[in-house]
Amino acid sequence: MKINVIGGGPAGLYFAILMKKANPAHQIRIYERNGPDDTFGWGVVFSGKTLANLRAADDVSHAEITKQFEAWDNVDVVHREEKISIHGNSFSGIARLKLLKILQRRAEQLGVEVNFHAEIHDVEALRNDCDLLLAADGVNSMVRLRYAGQFQPELDSRANRYIWYGTHQLFHGLTLTFRENSAGVFAAHSYKFSPTTSTFIVECDPQTWTRSGFEQMSSEETLDYVGDVFAQDLNGHKLLSNNSKWINFLLVKNRRWFFENVVLIGDALHTAHFSIGSGTKLAIEDAIALAESVQQTASVSEALTHFEKTRRPVIEDYQAAAFESMRWFENAGQYMHLSPIELAYVLMTRSGRVSNEDLKRRDSEFIRRYDRRDSF
Ligand SMILES: Cc1cc2nc3c(=O)[nH]c(=O)nc-3n(C[C@H](O)[C@H](O)[C@H](O)COP(=O)(O)OP(=O)(O)OC[C@H]3O[C@@H](n4cnc5c(N)ncnc54)[C@H](O)[C@@H]3O)c2cc1C
């Protein structure tokens, strides 16, 4: 089978690995516009369950990935000078660049042709030259745009702004920090992903953003302003920029997932708000589901039908949970009157996927403390 892949992110690389592993005779080419060492952002997180899926799909890359991991089991909520820790949540963090390097190496070892600095403009030519064209070209997918009439995308640019920084302050656990100043409320999502660095994503509503005056600020002024808001949490460390800019989260859905021999995957197909930290997980698990569909069916058309049929309910479920979580952060200002323990509780249950019983199982001491809150 001849497969062309646009995009050498987690989705494109992982699909290529699984297909080549299943049948070395497949001819697979990846076209990636960036170089092998370019990336945006800092770290990504995986849950324990995702790691088990990665091990089952490809134990070689799984072993490499887990060697580089920073693991933790606590979510920390910081509000009004108090930190509440909730244990029993298994997560690991890895630098996005490290993850990509591992997947690039594995793909090349297996004989996948990875072409860097190869930006695709003529999708039609590429699709006519293969049995299957995988559009793994990310959230602003040009393939989705080129065939918008076929895919019928639904794009929803959300009002909140966020910016993705790093820092050498180490946050041991997924840390959600809330700080207020005269402009409004800022939320930071942070976690350590290497022995020296943490991801530090800051989010605020549009009113807070405007009142802060970010529109007129340079990148350095923005970095200093945000650093001041979280000065107590950063403990003297600076925020680190990776060409970081304020962005609006783009919620992506598509009425149709494929047509003829073209299929969308990963962020090109769907997004889920970063507050549930699962974009890379979903991209990789799409790749696993699609590779399985190809192996279980006799033609590309059957494979793509099977992929959409089995994967769509899983994605819709995730997007529903992520939507609740995103809405919570969009309305974070409404919850600032809560005590730290109450805020931690509503945060943990915000997506509707974690119940009181789940929390009791994960961290009974946290629930005991929450239940006793009125007696203080
Ligand atoms: C602030 C923020 C925080 C996040 N945090 C997490 C997290 O903690 N955990 C997590 O799992 N996920 C996280 N994500 C999401 C994660 O980054 C994405 O979901 C994931 O990278 C999707 O993988 P992908 O392969 O579909 O797309 P991408 O990783 O975006 O890869 C697409 C690739 O296609 C290439 N490309 C695009 N157009 C072309 C073209 N025309 N020709 C050639 N190449 C092209 C791009 O250069 C890129 O390399 C976060 C995202 C954001 C914005």
Residue of the CA atom closest to atom 45 of ligand 1? 7
C-beta separation of 367 from 359 below 8 A: yes
Report the nearest atom of ligand 1 relative to the CA of 271.
19
DSSP one-letter string for 206-226: HHHHHHHTGGG--HHHHHHHH
Which runs of consecutive H residues, i.e. helices, occur in the chain?
10-22, 48-57, 59-67, 96-110, 123-127, 142-146, 148-151, 206-212, 219-229, 231-234, 279-296, 300-330, 340-348, 356-362, 364-371
CB under 8 Å to 180, separation ≥6 — which residues?
186, 336
pLDDT attached to residue 375: 56
Q: Tokens 């059957």 — which residue?
A: 302
Q: 327 is written with which tokens?
A: 């809405």
Q: Is the CB of 366 inside a 6 Å radius of any atom of ligand 1? A: no
Task: Flag the least confident range among 69-78, 108-117, 149-158, 198-207.
Answer: 69-78
Q: Is the CB of 201 inside a 6 Å radius of any atom of ligand 1? A: yes
Across the chain, mean pLDDT equals 95
Q: Ligand 1 pocket check: which of 137, 165, 243, 286 to mutate, most ligand atoms within 8 Å of Cβ?
A: 137
Q: Is the CB of 142 inside a 6 Å radius of any atom of ligand 1? A: yes
C-beta separation of 203 from 189 below 8 A: yes
pLDDT tens-digit series, residues 25-56: 999 999 999 999 887 668 988 988 899 999 99
pLDDT attached to residue 211: 98
pLDDT tens-digit series, residues 326-368: 999 999 999 999 999 999 999 999 988 899 999 999 999 999 9
What's the gap in Å between 67 CA and the centre of ligand 1? 22
pLDDT tens-digit series, residues 217-274: 999 999 999 999 999 999 999 999 999 999 999 999 999 999 999 999 999 999 999 9
C-beta separation of 245 from 256 below 8 A: no
Q: Is the CB of 102 inside a 6 Å radius of any atom of ligand 1? A: no
